[in-house]
Amino acid sequence: MIIKLKSHSGEKKKIFAFSDTHGNHRQVVIPKNIETIVFAGDACDCGDERQLADFFDWFSSLPAKNKLFVPGNHDLPFPLCLEPEILKKMAPENVIYMDEGKIILEDIHFYVLPVRPWMDGVSWLPAGMDVLITHGAPSGILDETPFGCPILRELVEEAKPKIHIFGHIHSKGGQSVRMNKTKFYNVSVCK
């Protein structure tokens, strides 16, 4: 999905965001003239390292200046799932791998939380965030009961990011909704 927003300096920006390719990433059509591409998890099926390597090879070759990869529940290779740093090392140098934290790209403030598809504990979100990225959906927003995360919903309602990008719920992919001050995008491409 193409997501339009203004940077902190007032420039109009476009982000292309998608998730849930499950090994079919080479079928995704990437729009031209996009500076930032966000992948919100599930590049492969069940931690398939061969699929992950192929995804990273393809993703790193895309012409966007910024390529941000956020892992989903299917991306952590099962033998390696206790050591996510190994997955991080698989990412090429020109791909930004983020499991949690803040990054500023093109004067847009991004924050990533490890919601795959739920949060295990209480976390926090910083003020002034433009874009929140998770793999899992917040409870009751473009999800299917019981797959949304209630803790995430509470955090989003408190922090009020301008945009929340997520996937995981395939049936709601390609949909967006505005609630209060936040625009929510389910960017799953798997149908």
Domain count, the chain: 1
Dmax over CA atoms of the chain, in Å, equals 45
HEC string of the chain equals CEEEEECCCCCEEEEEEEECCCCCHHHCCCCCCCCEEEECCCCCCCCCHHHHHHHHHHHHCCCCCEEEECCCCCCCCHHHCCCHHHHHHHCCCCCEECCCEEEEECCEEEEECCCCCCCCCCCCCCCCCCEEECCCCECCCCCCCCCCEHHHHHHHHHHCCCEEEECCCHHHCCEEEEECCEEEEECECCC
Confidence bin at 114 (pLDDT 50/70/90): confident
191 domain residue, yes or no: no
Average pLDDT, the chain: 88
Q: What angle do CA 155, 157, 158 make, to 5 degrees?
A: 65
Which range, 14-23, 49-58, 80-89, 122-131, has the best average confidence (pLDDT)?
14-23
Task: Output the CA torsion 72→82→66→64 (10° steps).
Answer: -60
CATH of the domain at 108: 3.60.21.10
Average pLDDT of span 154-182: 91
Query: Taking 60 as the threshold, does the pLDDT of residue 187 lie above it?
Result: yes
pLDDT tens figures, 70-83: 988 777 654 445 45
112 domain residue, yes or no: yes
For residue 148, what are its two tokens?
């949304």
Average pLDDT of span 2-15: 95
Output the pLDDT for position 45.
78
165 domain residue, yes or no: yes
114 domain residue, yes or no: yes
Structural domain that includes position 115: 2-186
Average pLDDT of span 74-96: 71
**Which residue, among 2, 161, 136, 156, has the nearest Cα to 70 in the 3D structure?**
136
Output the pLDDT for position 82.
44
Query: Taking 60 as the threshold, does the pLDDT of residue 177 lie above it?
Result: yes
Average pLDDT of span 118-123: 68
Average pLDDT of span 132-149: 87
39 domain residue, yes or no: yes
Q: Which residue has the tokens 């999800």?
A: 143
d(CA 71, CA 135): 7
pLDDT tens figures, 22-51: 888 999 999 999 999 999 988 887 767 788
CA distances (Å), 172 to each of 51, 86, 141, 189, in order? 24, 31, 10, 9
